[in-house]
Amino acid sequence: MPIYEYQCNACGHEHEALQKLGAEPLVVCPACNEAELKKKISAAGFRLKGSGWYETDFKSGNKKNVAGESSGSTSSSSASGGGCGNSCACH
């Protein structure tokens, strides 16, 4: 569940609330009990950048996926189960 930020227009109190995606926005300020609470717009708390799990997911143009670069030869990581040691559910 995402954490939403709110600010009261009446008293200026800032508040965070853990809510479901489809939940109605809060309107009553917990500090002054006025119906002046407004949801703030804020950035997400994470970024998908760098190498790792998402390295091959967003290739553009004629760039090859890293997994597709081995031309049929068995590498040490694929022979050992992709680096997970065969302890995951994918094997």
pLDDT value of position 77: 47
Specify whether the CB–CB gap between 43 and 71 falls below 8 A: no
| Alpha carbon separation from 47 to 18, 24, 53, 62, 73 (Å, rounded) | 20, 27, 13, 25, 34
Domain boundaries, the chain: 3-39
Q: Which residues, given as ranges, of the chain have pLDDT below 50?
A: 72-81
| Per-residue pLDDT tens over the stretch 71-89 | 544 444 444 445 565 666 6
pLDDT value of position 34: 96
